[in-house]
């Protein structure tokens, strides 16, 4: 939309955005810089912006004091299964968008209703259920409860309603089965929305903390976030290493976002923010 | 019977497609809600958890106690303030930023997108430490900057009234990113021809904004408001990591109250009753929003 | 789609490992003992375990560590599923609630075989954390207690060559040290900590909670204590803001006195490299009158056995090993945690260490916070009342009546 934009006007816009981005950035930059400071500098009364004695010590501790490989693996497994959940969301969104069937609206509203359930309500009941199903201390117990989510189904449905019915009809006439239509026609069209949901799913899985901790009766099931919080002692302190951990965990997400941002915005655009 | 089977066969694909999600949601969202409703009528505590035979029904006792509990009342009031101030701020600020960022396509504007998105992906522990420093009453960055222009230090997190707003500012900062992206996407869906036509008609920039952009963002606005609203009614993480609900319970939200009674004080029955009230409020508010929304529908992005 | 779900659930099931009742054994026939420790203890515990496994070659210890902040949530779910560990490290304040819920095993039958478990081995205050309803449910591992940390150089400047020795001296020193123009306070009193009033209340003869389980907060002894403590706030001798950065402020002399535990001594050494060791010292918390009895709060960690434990006998062996004086000295050498077993203190490693000796002296008179399951809730009431008084300017007597009523109803539950 850069048509007919006067230079003065544009300067004002850029200045405003620059000022805002300083406010948005400071905490983030602070975190990264603090991760290179020794503890005494982080807790100093008037901390300096730049590290005075830059150190990699915090990162070294991060990798030596936690069972990094195991935790990384578990985190990746959780991310992987949340991506399977993504396909389940997509399938449900597709059915709600493109099929007529008895009970469709009721079921759809029920699904949306789950968005409103506060997690504090369900934590103990879900734990008791998983315990009955003998799923505590299993990867299944960790990933199943959060595998699908109403917000995702909602976005997929919004998006899929915009796919022309003729297109799907044509595929069917060509003799493609419903499953094939879904995997080979619908999913490729839905790429942008997968990008949107993909990054949200990745963030969720990558940061998963409380649930893995509660389900795991074995450190072999711990995630990166849990490992990180183990480094913090009973009486506080250890801010520097927490900053290192937080920086380490956020970097992959930022990279992912930078690569995918075009798709993400497209995804929301087509997905029926209209 | 035959008929039902035929019907099922006819619709087998849609059911097959929604079955996995519905089963998971049913198991891990619906059943737990019913368990929670059940628990809310009992005195369930740690002994009850250890041995179910210790659980006793106590009818509506929990609910009656809840509404005479000064802390719970305060948490409802606080949550109301959080919602009333927080939701409009998030919606308006993220919309404004999206409109500004949408003015350009150069690398600078692309970087802005990333920068404004960053807070929403920053780990909450880091957020707490950093904002703790910014808000520190003794040597915090904000008070130091105020000092330069001769303003006395402010007790950002110690004053019962100011603390509420400090948390709101922080939560708005964190929430802008995701919502800005949603608005940005909606903005890019608006056909350029609308603006060209308006310019030919001699509409000013302000008129274009208020007559074209904002009305056409109505769906995105609705969507952002409703998810933000639900999120803020469940306001939890920020008070937990920053103030633990203090000072004098002035930042105690309903969700934090429930967490404290349930997980810190082991009164699961009482906490479940609180969460049922919270759940009811969310449903009510969402329904009202949908009702209001039903009134207008036009071309929207 | 169903196929996809089936496959994923199969894969998931394969990832998990089933647990069975009874003692599990490893492939080479060793009995497995599951131990939960707290975050930050992993190094210490891991260095102690080889000696234990050498002593009992047929036991294999499997450890899991839990972050402190979330340990309570985790313990709750373990109680519910009865799939907890055999042995667990417990914060002492949690013991009453879990013991009363029947989650902890009575260790009395094991005391004959393992004399290390007997209460008389431990400090008097620590003994109070060992039994609930006459059942032996927690064996002290390490202790912490609060003492007065002070800047010797700054106190000298206002005429104190030694630490304040009474309430009056403490207040006097704080008044003389306070200097608004330099942003300096006299002392830091932490109202965020529910236990903060206890030492002074005990010194003033308040029982806080009587032996027949009645709250004593509206009694003169406690009210007097609160009047004394809150006067520091009223007169501006201590900051109202709870977010003071304690250690750096101590280093710069802005907070010349504070009350804290052994961790602060370690943090001063690591975080304040510029503060020389002759610039600060520790002393027991001043008694009300000079020469009177000092009191302090006692905390730390105990070891307990879950009543649902599969391997109870080996669990007792493990705890007996952990409470052995030798093990506790090794633990001290590793991370400076204070031994709970009094015999451990005979070791020469503690000689000529004035800071550690202050803690040693304070341990003799330190007591745990009232050992009732609702203590944490009562603590919340006290914290709220203190905030009402110091920030909101509320009336002390009224607030204490309110705390008392609230505490009594919590105690009656």
Q: What are B168-198's pLDDT values in tens digits?
A: 999 999 999 888 888 887 887 788 888 888 8
User: Is residue B60 a contact partner of residue C114, using CB atoms and an 8 Å limit?
Assistant: no
Residue A41, C-beta contacts closer than 8 angstroms, at least 6 positions apart: A47, A48, A51, A52, A53, A240
Q: Is residue A141 in a domain?
A: yes
CB atoms B28 and A3 under 8 Å: no
Q: Given CB atoms, is B58 within the 8 Å cutoff of chain C?
A: no
In a domain, A115, yes or no: yes
Parent domain of A67:
56-270
- With 70 as the cut, is the pLDDT of residue A252 above it? yes
**B49 in reach of chain C (CB within 8 A):** yes
Q: How far is CA C219 from CA A165, C204, C372, C400, C409, in A?
A: 79, 11, 19, 9, 17
Instruction: Give B111's contacts (C-beta < 8 A, 6+ positions apart).
Output: none
Q: What is the mean pLDDT of residues B100-118?
A: 84
pLDDT tens digits, one per residue of B200-211: 888 888 888 888
Asked whether residue C226 carries a pLDDT value surpassing 90, the answer given is yes
Any domain includes C18: no
Residue C263 and residue A81: Cβ atoms within 8 Å? no
Give the pairing of strands C131-132 and C135-136: antiparallel
pLDDT above 60 (res B297)? no
Position A227 confidence tier, pLDDT thresholds 50, 70, 90: confident
Residues C255 and C379 in one domain: yes
As a whole number, mean pLDDT of residues B16-41 equals: 89
Same domain, C193 and C48: no
Give how far the C-alpha of residue C287 lies from the chain's centroid of Cα atoms, to the nearest Å: 21
Domain extent for C267: 147-297+371-412
The whole-number average pLDDT for the span C293-319 is 93
What is the CATH number for B235? 1.10.3720.10
Looking up tokens 């210490």 gives C44
Closest CA to A239 of A51, A47, A40: A40
Structural domain tally of chain A?
1
The residues, ordered by sequence, that sit 6+ positions from A49 with a Cβ below 8 Å of its Cβ are A30, A33
Q: Is C263 on the interface with A (CB under 8 A)?
A: yes
pLDDT at residue C198, rounded to an integer: 95
Q: pLDDT value at position A122?
A: 81
Please report whether residue C34 resides in a domain. Answer: yes
For chain B, list the contacting chains (3+ Cβ pairs, <8 Å): A, C
**Residue A237 clears pLDDT 70, i.e. is over it:** no
The Cα–Cα gap between A32 and C191 comes to 33
Query: Confidence class of residue B296 from pLDDT cuts 50, 70 and 90?
Result: low
**Residue A6 resides in a domain:** no
For residue A1, what pLDDT band results from cuts at 50, 70 and 90? very low
Same domain, C238 and C319: no
Please determine, for residue C19, whether its predicted confidence score (pLDDT) is greater than 50.
no
**Which chain C residue has its CA at the smallest distance from A39's CA?**
C271
Confirm whether C11 is domain-assigned. Answer: no
Average pLDDT, chain C: 89
Do C378 and C198 contact (CB within 8 A), yes or no? no
Residues of A whose CB is below 8 A from C42 = 65, 230
Q: Measuring CA to CA, which residue among A89, A88, A94, A83 is closest to residue A198? A: A83
A-to-C residue pairs, Cβ atoms closer than 8 angstroms: 122
* Contact state of C391 with B246 under an 8 Å Cβ cutoff: no
Work out the mean pLDDT of chain B and round it to a whole number.
Answer: 85
Q: What is the Cα–Cα distance from C259 to C173, expressed in whole angstroms?
A: 14
* Contact present, A194 and A86 (Cβ < 8 Å): yes
Give B168-202 as a DSSP string.
HHHHHHHHHHHHHHHHHHHHHTS-HHHHHHHHHTT
Residue with tokens 């504090």: A120
pLDDT of A207 reads 81
| Mean pLDDT, rounded, for C43-64 | 92
Distance CA C94, CA C374 (A): 10
Q: Are residues C324 and C357 in the same domain?
A: yes
Crossing angle of the two packed helices B218-233 and B160-188, in degrees rounded to 10: 150
Residue C12 contacts A, CB cutoff 8 Å: yes
Comparing B247 with C406, which gets the higher pLDDT? C406
> Which residues form the domain of B208?
70-294
pLDDT at C9 over 80: no
**Per-residue pLDDT at C156 exceeds 90:** yes
Q: Mean pLDDT throughout C203-221?
A: 92
Tell me if C7 is assigned to some domain: no
DSSP string of A33-63? Answer: HHTTS-HHHHTSSS--SS-SS--SHHHHHHH
Taking the CA of residue B248 and the nearest CA in chain A, the distance in Å comes to 23
- Segment holding B54, helix H or strand E: none
Chains touching chain C through at least 3 C-beta pairs below 8 angstroms are A, B
Question: Residue C360 belongs to a domain with what CATH number?
Answer: 3.40.190.10
Mind listing the pLDDT tens digit for each residue in A20-48? Answer: 888 888 877 888 888 898 887 877 777 77
d(CA A228, CA A206): 13
Place of tokens 């005479």: B68
What pLDDT is attached to residue A116?
76
Q: Which of B46, B136, B247 sits opposite C98 (nearest CB)?
A: B46
For residue C18, pLDDT over 50 is answered with no
Q: How far is CA B281 from the centre of its chain?
A: 13
B51 occurs within a structural domain? no
- Whether residue C21 is contained in a domain is answered as no
Kindly report the pTM of this predicted structure: 0.84
Least trusted range by pLDDT, from A139-143, A189-193, B27-31: A189-193
Total domains in chain C come to 2
pLDDT of res. C17: 40
pLDDT, greater one: C290 or A250? C290
Q: What does the pLDDT look like over A102-149, one tens digit per residue?
A: 889 899 988 888 877 777 778 778 888 888 888 888 899 999 988 888
Q: Residue C283: enclosing H or E segment and its boundaries?
A: strand C280-283
- For residues C260 and C347, membership in a common domain is answered with no
C9, C70, C267 ranked by CB distance to A140: nearest: C9
Q: Are residues C308 and C266 in the same domain?
A: no
What is the pLDDT at residue C228?
95
Position B299 in a domain:
no
- Give the Cα separation of B245 and B256 in Å (integer): 7
A196 in any annotated domain: yes
Averaged pLDDT of chain A: 82
Q: What is the pLDDT of residues C346-364, one digit of tens each?
A: 999 999 899 999 999 999 9
The residue-averaged pLDDT of A153-157 equals 86
- Among the partner-chain residues A77, A219, A233, the one whose CB lies closest to the CB of C64 is A219
| Shared domain check, C106 and C53 | yes
Has residue A28 been placed in a domain? no
- Determine the pLDDT at residue C3: 46
Please choose, from the candidates C215, C259, C200, the residue with its C-alpha nearest in 3D space to the C-alpha of residue C370.
C215
pLDDT at A249 over 90: no
Label residue C331 by pLDDT band (50, 70, 90).
Answer: very high
pLDDT at position A123: 79
Q: Is this complex scored with an ipTM above 0.85?
A: no
Residue B35 parent element (H or E):
helix B31-40
In a domain, A35, yes or no: no
How far apart, in whole angstroms, are the C-alpha atoms of residue B253 and residue B250?
9
C348 and C269 assigned to the same domain: no
Distance CA(B93)–CA(B85), nearest Å, equals: 12
Question: Is B114 inside any structural domain?
Answer: yes
SS3 A193: helix
Suggest the residue from C77, C83, C101 to mutate for an interface test with chain B (most B CBs closer than 10 A): C101
In a domain, C185, yes or no: yes
Alpha-carbon span C376 to C71, nearest angstrom: 15
C47 touches chain A (CB under 8 A): no
Specify the CATH number for the domain of residue A106.
1.10.3720.10
C392-411: average pLDDT: 91
pLDDT band at C111; cut points 50, 70, 90: very high
Number of domains in chain B: 1
Nearest CA in chain B to C385: B248
* Per-residue pLDDT, A234: 59
Among A223-227, C117-121, C185-189, C212-216, the minimum mean pLDDT is found in A223-227
Q: Please check whether residue A90 lies inside any domain of the structure.
A: yes
Q: Is residue B249 part of a domain?
A: yes
pLDDT, residue A3, reads 47
CA distance C248 to A239: 14
Average pLDDT over every residue of A237-263? 79
CA distance C230 to C220: 15
Tell me the C-alpha distance between C296 and C198, whole Å.
7
Q: Which residues contact A113 (CB under 8 A, 6 or more apart)?
A: A150, B283
Question: Is position C270 within any domain?
Answer: yes
* C293 and C309 inside one domain: no
Distance CA C91, CA C186 (A): 32
Residue-level pLDDT at C287 = 95
The three-class DSSP label of residue C190 is: coil
């Amino acid at each position: 939309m850069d048509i007919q934009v006067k230079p003065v006007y544009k300067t004002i816009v850029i200045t405003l955005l620059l000022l805002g981005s300083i406010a948005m950035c400071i905490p983030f930059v602070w975190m990264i810089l603090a991760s290179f400071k020794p503890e005494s500098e982080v807790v100093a009364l008037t901390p300096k912006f730049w590290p005075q004695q830059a150190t990699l010590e915090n990162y070294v501790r991060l990798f030596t004091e936690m069972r990094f490989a195991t935790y990384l693996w578990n985190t990746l497994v959780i991310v992987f299964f949340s991506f399977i959940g993504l396909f389940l969301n997509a399938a449900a969104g597709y059915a709600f968008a493109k099929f007529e069937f008895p009970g469709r609206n009721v079921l759809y509203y029920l699904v949306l209703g789950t968005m409103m359930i506060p997690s504090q309500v369900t934590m103990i009941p879900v734990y008791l259920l998983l315990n009955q199903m003998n799923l505590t201390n299993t990867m299944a117990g960790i990933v199943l409860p959060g595998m699908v989510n109403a917000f995702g189904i909602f976005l997929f449905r919004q998006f899929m309603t915009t796919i022309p019915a003729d297109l799907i009809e044509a595929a069917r006439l060509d003799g493609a089965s419903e499953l094939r239509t879904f995997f080979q026609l619908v999913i490729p069209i839905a790429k942008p929305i997968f990008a949107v949901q993909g990054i949200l799913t990745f963030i969720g899985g990558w940061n998963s903390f409380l649930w893995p901790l509660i389900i795991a009766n074995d450190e072999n099931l711990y995630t990166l976030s849990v490992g990180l919080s183990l480094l913090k002692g009973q009486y506080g302190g250890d801010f520097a290493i927490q900053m290192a951990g937080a920086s380490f965990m956020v970097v992959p997400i930022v990279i992912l976002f930078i690569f995918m941002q075009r798709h993400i915005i497209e995804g929301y655009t087509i997905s029926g923010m209209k | 019977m035959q008929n039902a089977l035929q019907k099922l066969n006819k619709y087998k694909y849609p059911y097959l497609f929604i079955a996995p999600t519905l089963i998971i949601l049913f198991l891990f969202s619906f059943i737990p809600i019913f368990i929670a409703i059940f628990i809310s009528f009992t005195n369930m505590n740690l002994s009850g958890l250890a041995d179910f035979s210790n659980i006793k029904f106590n009818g509506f006792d929990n609910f009656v106690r809840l509404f005479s509990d000064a802390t719970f009342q305060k948490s409802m009031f606080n949550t109301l303030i959080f919602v009333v101030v927080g939701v409009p701020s998030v919606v308006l600020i993220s919309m404004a930023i999206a409109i500004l960022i949408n003015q350009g396509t150069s690398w600078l504007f692309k970087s802005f997108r990333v920068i404004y998105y960053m807070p929403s992906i920053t780990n909450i522990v880091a957020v707490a430490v950093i904002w703790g420093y910014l808000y520190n009453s003794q040597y915090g960055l904000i008070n130091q900057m105020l000092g330069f222009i001769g303003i006395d230090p402010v007790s950002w997190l110690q004053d019962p009234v100011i603390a509420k707003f400090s948390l709101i500012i922080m939560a708005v900062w964190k929430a802008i990113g995701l919502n800005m992206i949603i608005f940005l996407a909606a903005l890019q869906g608006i056909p350029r021809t609308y603006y060209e036509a308006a310019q030919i008609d001699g509409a000013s920039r302000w008129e274009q904004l208020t007559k074209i952009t904002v009305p056409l963002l109505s769906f995105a606005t609705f969507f952002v408001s409703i998810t933000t609203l639900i999120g803020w009614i469940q306001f939890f993480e920020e008070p937990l990591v920053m103030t633990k609900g203090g000072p004098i319970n002035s930042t105690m939200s309903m969700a934090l109250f429930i967490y404290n009674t349930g997980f810190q004080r082991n009164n699961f029955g009482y906490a479940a009753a609180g969460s049922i009230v919270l759940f009811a409020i969310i449903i009510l508010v969402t329904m009202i929003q949908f009702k209001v929304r039903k009134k207008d529908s036009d071309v929207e992005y | 789609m169903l196929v996809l779900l089936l496959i994923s659930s199969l894969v998931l099931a394969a990832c998990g490992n089933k647990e069975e009742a009874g003692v599990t054994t490893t492939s080479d026939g060793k009995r497995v003992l599951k131990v939960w420790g707290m975050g930050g203890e992993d190094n210490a515990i891991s260095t102690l375990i080889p000696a234990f496994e050498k002593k009992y070659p047929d036991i294999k210890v499997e450890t899991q560590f839990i972050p402190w902040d979330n340990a309570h949530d985790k313990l709750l779910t373990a109680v519910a599923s009865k799939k907890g560990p055999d042995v667990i490290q417990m914060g002492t304040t949690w013991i009453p609630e879990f013991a009363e819920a029947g989650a902890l095993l009575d260790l009395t039958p094991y005391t004959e075989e393992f004399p290390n478990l007997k209460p008389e081995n431990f400090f008097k205050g620590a003994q109070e954390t060992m039994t609930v309803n006459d059942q032996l449910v927690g064996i002290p591992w390490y202790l912490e207690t609060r003492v007065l940390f002070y800047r010797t150089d700054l106190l000298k400047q206002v005429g104190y060559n030694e630490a304040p020795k009474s309430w009056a001296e403490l207040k006097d020193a704080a008044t003389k040290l306070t200097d608004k123009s330099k942003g300096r306070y006299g002392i830091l009193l932490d109202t965020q900590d529910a236990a903060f009033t206890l030492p002074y209340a005990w010194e003033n003869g308040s029982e806080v909670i009587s032996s027949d389980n009645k709250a004593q907060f509206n009694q003169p002894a406690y009210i007097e204590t609160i009047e004394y403590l809150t006067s520091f706030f009223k007169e501006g001798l201590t900051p109202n803001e709870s977010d003071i950065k304690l250690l750096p402020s101590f280093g710069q002399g802005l907070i010349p006195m504070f009350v804290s535990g052994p961790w602060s001594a370690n943090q001063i050494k690591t975080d304040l490299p510029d503060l020389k060791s002759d610039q600060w010292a520790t002393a027991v918390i001043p008694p009300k009158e000079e020469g009177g009895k000092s009191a302090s709060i006692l905390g730390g960690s105990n070891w307990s056995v879950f009543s649902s434990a599969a391997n109870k006998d080996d669990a007792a062996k493990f705890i007996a090993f952990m409470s052995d004086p030798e093990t506790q000295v090794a633990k001290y050498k590793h991370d400076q945690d204070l031994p709970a077993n009094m015999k451990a203190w005979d070791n020469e490693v503690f000689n000529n260490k004035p800071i550690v000796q202050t803690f040693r002296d304070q341990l003799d008179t330190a007591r745990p916070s009232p050992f009732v399951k609702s203590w944490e809730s009562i603590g919340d009431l006290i914290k709220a009342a203190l905030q009402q008084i110091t920030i909101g300017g509320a009336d002390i007597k009224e607030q204490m009546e309110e705390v008392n009523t609230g505490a009594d109803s919590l105690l009656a539950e």
